[in-house]
A and B are shown apart, each in its own frame.
Chain A
């Protein structure tokens, strides 16, 4: 079974520029997540999709970050304009459908995109 795919793997940009990341989840996984992982910290959830609908975007800085999952499969995360503090690894994760009540869905993470903002 193929894992979560992400591209690019690395990106270097200057502050105030724009950048976009792409994610293709595991086939059949209805739930897709974008996380930001700053060096030395745990992943922080930015946005969660269920199919093509947003479930949770409470921690997404909406003035500069946007994400979409138009056809309920792959997703893009955009930052416009980027700031120095956006330097981090952006992880995409997906979960299969059919989670049981009282359980948290297992997150299957992709390799991530390492963003450096200069």
Chain B
């Protein structure tokens, strides 16, 4: 069936290192959303990408939508302890479908 896959499942970095999570869809997406969920918290919307090849930045976060609109990435430059959490991508398949997320741990 249609699905959204994310890798890696988990990453542990030292503060100041960079981090990237990748999202792949089994089918072309009209758009893709990214959410962040802090430990014990609820998902919070970060951004939505719509155009093929689109790149958007939010401070240290860079989001990219692939040319074929089947993949996306989130890159964090110089991680901070406040970046800890699970990052989810979500795409509108038959219903809005979330990936399993990438859990980011940042050691000071």
Name A112's closest neighbour in chain B (CB-CB): B42
Q: Which of A45, A102, A109 contacts B42 (CB 8 A)?
A: A109
Confirm or deny: A111 has a beta carbon within 8 angstroms of a beta carbon on chain B: yes
A110 near B33 with CB under 8 A, answer no
Task: Tally chain A residues at the interface, Cβ within 8 Å.
Answer: 21
Which residue of chain B is the closest to A55 with respect to CB atoms? B95
B77–chain A nearest beta-carbon distance, Å:
25
| CB-defined contacts of A43 to chain B, threshold 8 Å | 43, 88, 98
Chain B: number of interface residues, binned into ranges: 20 to 34
B95 touches A42 (CB 8 A): no
Interchain nearest-CB distance for A23 vs B (Å): 12
Among B31, B43, B45, B98, which residue has its beta carbon within 8 angstroms of that of A103?
Answer: B31
A60 → B minimal CB distance (Å): 11
From the candidates B41, B48, B97, B99, name the one contacting A106 in the complex (CB within 8 A).
B48
Task: Give A64-95 as 1s and 0s: 1 = Cβ < 8 Å from B's Cβ atoms.
Answer: 00000000000000000000000000010000
Report the separation of the CA atoms of residues A110 and B37 in the bound assembly, to the nearest whole angstrom.
Answer: 12
Q: Is A16 an interface residue when CB atoms closer than 8 A count as contact? A: no
Choose one: A40, A108, A110, A112; the contact of B100 (CB below 8 Å). A40
Q: Which residues of B contact A (CB under 8 A)?
A: 4, 30-31, 33, 35, 41-45, 48, 50, 88, 90, 92, 94-101
**What 4 A-B pairs are tightest by C-beta distance, nearest first?**
A42-B98, A109-B42, A45-B95, A106-B45
